[in-house]
A and B are shown apart, each in its own frame.
Chain A
Amino acid sequence: MSKDIRIKKGLNINLVGAAEQTTSKAVLSNVYAIHLSDFHGITPKMLVKEGVEIKAGEALFYNKNREDMLFVSPVSGELIEIERGARRRILTLKILADKTQDTLEHSKLDLEKASAHQVKEYLLKGGCWPFIKQRPYDIIADPDTTPKAIFISGYNTAPLSADLDYVLQGKEKELQAAISALGKMTPGKVHVSVGKSAKSPLTGLNGIELHKVAGPHPAGLVGTHINKIDPINKGELVWTVSAQDLVIIGEFLLTGTFNAERIVALAGSSVKQPKYYTTKIGTEISTFLYASGVNGENFRVINGDVLTGLKSKQDGHLGYYNNTVTCIPEGDDYEFFGWNKPIFNKISATRALTFSWLQPNKKYDLTTNTNGEHRAFVVTGMYEKVFPMDIYPMQLLKACMVKDLDEMEQLGLYEVAPEDFSLTEFVCVSKQPHQQIIREGLDLLQKEIG
């Protein structure tokens, strides 16, 4: 039985520069890069050395704790650089792409007859496993475990993020293959959530439990769905896969080849013509950024949406999991009496001489300015207004800050991922780094309790 979700608590952040629904093909990139920071908690062990030629879909490295979990190259070419940081930690792998692409082909899997174990092995060796994430801890799933359910969000409510209905068009076959495979790995259900009025290709799939979601952001976050449908208890596991990664998994299951291609939304007020581009994981962002044109020099390129993305550069590369690239102006300037004059051009959750409540549908051009300094927690009751889960957000944050493991467990840290705290971070008057606090709390809990 499908259960519809309707949330009231939340906040839609309307920004200027939503991607127009037309897709162009991005210029092929010369160099592709894989950032290891995309794979939280993974210690890589290299399988190839610098200067070695590899095919697309061929393994670059594996997870130190799990030798069969392979991470593959999005393109064929030469591994030209292994960039290392402090203590020789690997930061980035750079691959110089060949002119003609050569893809590693695996023997096809008979999806109908395959057991869960076979599916797992197949996805692991094909490099598709890293797309499957688990909660608690918001990390790449442990293939040894069995989740009680799998959650997929087919609805993006984050500001300026890619419209999944649009980018998934015509991918029904791949999506179905991926869903069928995932369904084998859990005795529970595969929950798929779509927007209430959406015409999502996900709605027609078999083997899913479909949920219609309505309400402001974070209505589209998978954490919200888990909390409303089947919350995680201590010791339980759920897996989550982002809808667009299902396409890569599905195509791999159907054809035996790893196709790193995806449609990316280029958005934000610093982009002249925000729209969609077909490109590949790890591509240079500049291959499509300048095709759309940019406004000014001083802007920030974000891998992902403005609430959860990672800071990149104009000559940076598309992240492993991202289907949105956002460019917004940097706010590194002072504002005269910015704390007491009436504000019309910024979003606020209060009405303290801030007037965004007058025009709820107006689109804003926000910068990266913090609009104030870091302070201790003072104001109460504000986070609750944008936090739809049955969890006390401030108390949980404080428990993480003081590293109280019992409190963290009891207040529901198992149920959340950093992204669930992106809105509370946005409205925070004290400008606290909520997502970072939750990430550190999750890491600590995982280390201490497992």
Chain B
Amino acid sequence: MSDKRLTFKKRLHIIKHHYRGKKMAPAFNALHTFLFTPDETTHNGSHVRAADDLKRTMNTVIMALVPVLLFSMFNAGYQHYSAINGFPQDFSVMEHFLTWDNFWIGIVKVLPLVVVSYGIGLLVEFIFAVIKGHEVEEGYLVTGMLVPLIVPIDTPLWMLAVAVVFGVVIGKEVFGGTGMNILNPALTIRAFLFFAYPTWMSGDKVWVHGAVERAQEIADGANVDAISGETVLGFLAQNKGAEMSYSMWDAFWGFIPGSVGETPTFLILLGGLFLIFSKIASWRIMVSAVLGSLVMGLFFNQVVEWGWIGESSSFYGLMSFDFWKHLLVGGLAFGIVYMATDPVTGAQTNRGKWIYGFLIGFMSVMIRVFNPAYPEGVFLAILLMNVFAPTIDHYVIRGNVKRRMKRLKNATLLPKDSDQEAKELKAETV
């Protein structure tokens, strides 16, 4: 270690002791522990501790999100230019997708969302930590990264800021902060945006950068072509699946419109495998959620096959959609990998995780098909299951308690020495 860093380390150490016990201590400590893991040692109990802390855990999830973020920055530009100029013939990734022009749209449109999300969210966290005198916990590190990836690209920054404040305060801090919340904060933010500003969150104008603006210009009398970018689910919900030009391969790689980061199923799959491999996220939830969505999708396919639903029905488009394709479109894959696996708001017992995950997949597809207002149900399904997760856990744990109670019936209760029975019993045994 160089001398210079040593002095830097020492200087921070001195400042830390200066702040100790003062109001601003949590704010300083948050910055300090970001640079250096603390010099804290164990007391009694386990004198050695494993290498992981909460920061490392959260950081692993962020690493799994970085490829998705980078892809989404390119895709922002790709969707924008394709909506104006038409989708390129004989598409090549290097030529049409990984271009500087595309990336520039990402820098201008996606990065500000990330900055606002982290800036406002962490500010709220710091304020609460200072007021309540606890350390700044790391929960928002992941939330802050998730939020920009699950909103439409043209979401105004002030709107995002309002939603983040709402989500962090009402979704998390009022319950006591990280680890205590009932609802996933990122989804609370998404839900707030959806219900507070519905026109900005649905329709065919919000998924591609520039579409809303162009619509406004046209309304003002400008003589330009409208841009639109309907999502796959949007087409299907209107029974216009035939008009759709996207192939399932486009959906798998992610070259389709949608919320900023929800489209690249392939990268999300890689992220999910990484999280399972690193043992950070629950594979039980992921696997069971996939199963749940397949079962529901298969059921709807059967309903169409049995002829219960005709082509005239408004549900036909989505119900006849091949069951496995549900995983490739919309936010289902993203939700399963990064949102349903949130350990705080999800089920906490292993058996509970199976039930919880299954119902998330099941509900997501169900809401997707039946919700007339908005053809995507993942965030609602996960929020709903967040509410039910403690109930699921309760019944799983009761199972364990029941086993214990059953055993109790055969308990050998031996009386104390002072009792008469004990003397007799002892006489027998000795």
Contact = CB atoms under 8 A, between A and B. Distances in A.
Given A234-B408, A366-B48, A372 B414 contact: no
Interface residues of B, number: 77
Nearest to B285: A381
Interface stretch (B135-143, B304-312, B332-340): B135-143
A370 B430 contact: no
Interface string A291-330: 0000000001010001111110000000000000010101
B37 A368 contact: no
A373 B408 contact: no
A368 B48 contact: yes
B48 A236 contact: no
Nearest to B9: A334
A334 B280 contact: no
A361 interface: no
B17 interface: no
A330 B56 CA distance: 22
B312 to A, nearest CB: 47
B48 A429 contact: no
> Do most interface residues of chain A lie in helix, strand or loop, or is the interface mixed?
loop
A346 B178 contact: no
B46 A425 contact: yes
B178 A347 contact: no
Contacts of B413: 235-236
B430 A369 contact: no
A367 interface: yes
A349 interface: yes
A379 B45 contact: no
Contact of B408 (A233, A384, A411, A433): A233
Contacts of B52: 348-350, 352, 354, 371-372, 427, 429
Interface in A371-418: 371-382, 384, 390-392, 394-395, 410-412, 418
A391 B279 contact: no
B350 interface: yes
Contact of B137 (A300, A375, A412): A375
B397 interface: yes
A234 B411 contact: yes
Interface string A339-365: 110010011111111101000000000
B397 A310 contact: no
A250 to B, nearest CB: 19
A336 B407 contact: no
Given A115-B430, A376-B177, A311 B404 contact: no
Nearest to A237: B414
A115 B423 CA distance: 11
B344 interface: yes
Interface in B162-176: 176
A148 interface: yes
B350 A384 contact: yes
B321 to A, nearest CB: 34
Nearest to A391: B400
Interface stretch (A39-47, A128-136, A139-147, A273-281): A139-147
B50 A231 contact: no
Given A184-B430, A370-B42, A147 B414 contact: yes
A349 to B, nearest CB: 6
Contacts of B278: 350-353
Interface string B105-141: 0000000000000000000000000000001011100
A426 B52 CA distance: 10
Classify chain A: how many residues form its interface, as a range. 35 or more
A448 interface: no
Interface string A221-234: 00000000001011
> Do most interface residues of chain B lie in helix, strand or loop, or is the interface mixed?
loop
Given A306-B46, A340-B55, A371-B51, A395 B397 contact: yes
A144 B393 CA distance: 40
Interface in B288-329: none
Nearest to A339: B55
B13 interface: yes
B3 interface: no
A354 B52 CA distance: 8
Given A116-B429, A332-B41, A371-B37, A145 B47 contact: no
A270 interface: no
Q: Which of A326, A378, A395 has the most CB of B within 10 A?
A: A378
Contact of B139 (A15, A340, A378): A378
B404 A233 contact: yes
B36 A334 contact: yes
Interface string B43-87: 111111111111111011000000000000000000000000000
A85 to B, nearest CB: 16
B59 A339 contact: yes
B46 to A, nearest CB: 4
Nearest to A143: B417
A116 B137 CA distance: 56
B45 A422 contact: yes
B18 to A, nearest CB: 16
B393 to A, nearest CB: 8
B412 interface: yes
B416 interface: yes
B13 A381 contact: no
B404 A429 contact: no
Contacts of A307: 46-48
A419 to B, nearest CB: 10
Nearest to B135: A373
A119 B325 CA distance: 75
B239 interface: no
A232 to B, nearest CB: 9
Given A347-B51, A392-B397, A422 B46 contact: yes
A216 interface: no
A316 to B, nearest CB: 13
A338 interface: yes
A187 interface: yes
A349 B53 contact: no
B221 interface: no
B51 A145 contact: no
Given A309-B44, A368-B48, A431-B49, 9 more contacts: A184-B429, A308-B46, A334-B13, A350-B60, A353-B278, A369-B41, A372-B55, A427-B50, A433-B45
24 contacts: A144-B418, A145-B416, A187-B429, A233-B408, A307-B48, A311-B44, A335-B36, A340-B55, A350-B278, A371-B50, A375-B138, A376-B178, A378-B343, A378-B344, A379-B54, A380-B346, A390-B403, A395-B348, A410-B401, A411-B401, A429-B53, A430-B54, A434-B45, A436-B44
Ordered nearest first, which 3 A-B pairs have the shortest CB separation? A372-B53, A376-B179, A338-B37
